Amino acid sequence: MKERIEVLLSAEEIDSKLTELAETLYEEFGDEQVELVCALKGAVVVTVDLAKKMKMPVTLNFMSVSSYGDGTVSSGNINVKMDLDEDIEGKNVLIVEDIIDTGRTLKKLKELLLFRKPKNLKIVTLLDKPDRRVADISADYVGFTIPDAFVVGYGLDYAQKYRNLPYVGVVHFDED
Ligand code: 5GP
């Protein structure tokens, strides 16, 4: 089996969408400080690129929660592999996600962070696959709504590969 990547969203399309999202966030938060909580590893690329476009003071924090192994099926449980290194109580917190699929990971993550009493907790995701949603959760800000396909690139992997692609593509598995 050979993997072939078909471009779904170009680097240019993603860049202008992130500019739009940053403008929307500025309308929402103004000059208030916002803490970006990046869900590792997938959201690292969108977190960095979005942060560079945000005009208010921004702090960065990282959390590693897992739901997928090397395959393509959600386990339905999250495992906190690495926690935030600072308290979020009283802060404007924005969870940055690469993609929302079944929503199970995000729902658990949101519950966990709400328990820590942030001033405000919002979610931004680059990609949303609403057709696959199982958990009752949605993002406050969505870059692109995409069909039910397994995508890679711009932080998203298949067996840890392709995270560095500057675009988002659909993986096809061709016979050799
Ligand atoms: P959920 O809990 O919403 O089903 O899963 C969310 C996580 O699953 C994402 O943060 C991402 O790591 C992974 N995931 C979901 N859909 C895809 C996809 O199409 N491609 C890749 N590479 N990962 C995905």
Tell me: the pLDDT tens digits for 32-43? 999 999 999 999
pLDDT over 80 (residue 68): no
pLDDT over 90 (residue 78): no
Ligand 1 atom closest to residue 43's alpha carbon, by position in its atom list: 10
pLDDT over 60 (residue 69): no
SS3 assignment, position 2: strand
Q: What is the pLDDT of residue 67?
A: 62
**Ligand 1 geometric centre to CA of 101 (Å):** 6
Give the CA-trace dihedral at 81, 86, 91, 92, to 10 degrees.
Answer: -40
Burial of 79 per CB tally in 10 Å (0-12, 13-18, 19+): exposed
SS3 assignment, position 130: helix
State the Cα–Cα distance between residues 46 and 169, nearest whole angstrom.
15
Task: Give the helix/strand (H/E) hosting 7.
Answer: strand 2-9
